[in-house]
Amino acid sequence: MVQLNSGSGDHIHTVTLDKTGKKSFGICIVRGEVKDSPNSKTSGIFIKGIVPDSPAHLCGRLKVGDRILSLNNNDVRNATEQAVIELIKDAGIKINLEIQTFEKDVKKSNERDQRENGYVQAKSKFTPEPQSSTTNKSSDPKEIPRNPAFSASIRANPAANYTANDDDEEDTRDMTGRIRTEYGYEIDRASAGNCKLNKQEKERDKEQPDEFGYTIAKIKKRYNLMKDLRKVEVTRAPNTSLGLALAGHTDRRKMACFVAGINANGPLASLDIKAGDEILEVNGNVLQNRCHLNASVIFKNIDSEKIVLITSRRKDNDEGISVKPIKKFPREVDDTKFLFELYPNARSIQIKKEGFLGIMVIYGKHVEVGNGIFVSDLREESNAVAAGIKVGDMLLAVNKDVTLESNYDEAVALIRRAEGIVTLVLLTLKSEEALKAEREAAEKKKEEARAEAEKPQDTSIAETKINKKILIEVKVEKKPLGVIVVGGKNNQVKVSSGYPEIDNKLQRGYIITKFNGDALEGCTFEICYALFKGANGKISMEITRPKPTCRTDASK
């Protein structure tokens, strides 16, 4: 669903995209700049690609080169690419975009865009192209109309090249994965420590980057949409706790890491951090949009004495932390209890670590539980084997640290750092073959139940139910059956007297559908009479109790 509203100003309009029934909105963005006049440039977030048959493509009012001014009333003109991506992820199924186009003939451009199909990717905006003569035009009818103002000057490097040119005004590097700082610390590429400043920002920023690449200017640029940013530094003694309790977002659909409490006797007690603050990063590890349990694992794996936190302070009435601030800091927090509610078959195992635990793990996916950490191999005659751990078990926790959303490196670090008696929470899962066999058995059982419901039931064990066929079997002696048959479309019966097996199951108005295996539907009264009169020895009748309608007097 797409809603369009005309806006005022130079080629500015609003577009509402609704992805109901679609996987995505269908827009790909990049931060860049356009030369909108000979002496001026405009930078911002631009559309670099449109997915075919997506809401963005179907609306007919978006094209490559359009600039996004605002998204859901958030001004993104000076936002980073990553910040806008996060806004789109958090938007749900609908986004409102304020769009600026640099095309002179907007109407003509829109008409051309509506005729286009395929994935719209303007490669010329990212790599220089030689000047072509006006006579050497492409004859390909699928060639995408380009916005000339945009295609001339946007700057970006290939995704594989992670070393940005210091002369570039904008940062268009791939922000996935990890990178090392000048001091040798490994940080996320999306960290503020790896944020790139342009020339003017560098001239204003006189601060020397710390071990993790942080400066206040970089932090403000990376998280320009966040409120009240703070940088908190603390030095802790080796093997001591920070005294920090974490909590998640009040909206279960959103991922965030909030400070739930500060230990009054801990190293953070005297610093500018309090319950309700959202932790965006720690030592170059991005915690924004991550589960607080996963963030807890990251904190546990930090082995340096210096801890640097990037936080955002929310107002008291802002949506955020899922729990009330902890006033009395607990001695020990066990985050593993919920695992046994989530997975009733989970089990806790204690293993004595004697140099090694004897397990190897892998990050993988299982049809029952999805992605996670799984046991991939076991060392022979190890304590893990003796404890009953099996290859394929899902690792849910190491001691009191949950690994449910951890990656491979985080899980391995927890296992390596664990000493003495190690408590593991594991979940034994069924193999693919077992799951397949169960599905086949369930389908077979359903088929058997359907077949059983359709076939006639034995009169000795079944009750006579409306529209349900049952089978009556009786050994006939030399005496009348006590059944009067009325011919017609269906052969109804009138019970007089005779055999108890018949009298208990057969009543007036019931329909006999078969007699000794012969179908009676459509038979004349004379044929039915002859069949009943000649019955001798063992006979069988298939009967149905019809839904009562009106009283029928068969004697008439």
Q: What is the pLDDT of residues 105-143, one digit of tens each?
A: 444 444 444 433 333 333 333 333 333 333 333 333 333
Q: What is the pLDDT of residue 441?
A: 84
Give the mean model confidence (pLDDT) for residues 344-364.
89
Q: Of all residues in the chain, what percent carry a pLDDT higher than 70?
A: 72
**Cα gap 344→369, rounded to integer Å:** 13
Q: Is pLDDT at 5 greater than 80 in this prediction?
A: no
Using an 8 Å Cβ cutoff, are 406 and 373 in contact? yes
Q: Own/partner pairs for 136-144, CB < 8 Å, 24+ apart?
A: 142/116, 142/117, 142/118, 144/64, 144/116, 144/118, 144/120
Burial of 324 (0-12, 13-18, 19+ CB in 10 A): exposed
Q: What is the pLDDT of residue 504?
A: 58
> Where in the chain are the domains?
2-129+145-151, 178-312, 337-432, 457-544
Q: What is the pLDDT confidence band of residue 98, given thresholds at 50, 70 and 90?
A: very high
Assign domain 178-312 one CATH number from 3.40.309.10, 2.30.42.10, 1.10.1060.10, 1.20.1250.20.
Answer: 2.30.42.10
**Cα gap 164→156, rounded to integer Å:** 9
**Cα gap 472→44, rounded to integer Å:** 84
| pLDDT tens per residue across span 395-447 | 999 988 889 888 898 899 888 888 888 899 999 887 767 777 877 888 888 88
Q: What is the pLDDT of residue 548?
A: 65
Q: Do domains 2-129+145-151 and 337-432 have the same CATH topology?
A: yes
Q: Which residue has the higher pLDDT, 176 or 468?
A: 176
Q: What is the pTM of this model?
A: 0.41
Q: Of all residues in the chain, what percent carry a pLDDT higher than 90?
A: 17
Which segment of 14-28, 144-158, 386-400 scores lowest on mean pLDDT?
144-158
Q: What is the pLDDT of residue 277?
A: 92
457-544 — its CATH code? 2.30.42.10
Q: Own/partner pairs for 22-27, CB < 8 Å, 24+ apart?
A: 22/54, 22/55, 24/51, 24/54, 25/54, 25/55, 25/56, 25/88, 25/95, 26/50, 26/51, 26/52, 26/53, 26/54, 26/55, 26/56, 26/57, 27/51, 27/54, 27/56, 27/62
Give the mean model confidence (pLDDT) for residues 63-87.
88
Q: What is the pLDDT confidence band of residue 83, given thresholds at 50, 70 and 90?
A: confident
**Cα gap 531→528, rounded to integer Å:** 5
Burial of 315 (0-12, 13-18, 19+ CB in 10 A): exposed
Q: What is the pLDDT of residue 149?
A: 36
Architecture of domain 337-432: Roll (2.30)
Q: Please give the mean pLDDT across all residues of the chain.
A: 75
Give the mean model confidence (pLDDT) for residues 313-332.
75
* Start-end of H helices in 346-482: 383-386, 408-417, 432-454
Q: What is the pLDDT confidence band of residue 456, given thresholds at 50, 70 and 90?
A: low
Give the mean model confidence (pLDDT) for residues 328-351.
80
Give the mean model confidence (pLDDT) for residues 527-552.
71
Give the mean model confidence (pLDDT) for residues 5-11.
47
C-alpha 353, offset from chain centre: 36
Q: Confirm or reject CATH 2.30.42.10 for domain 2-129+145-151, answering yes or no.
A: yes
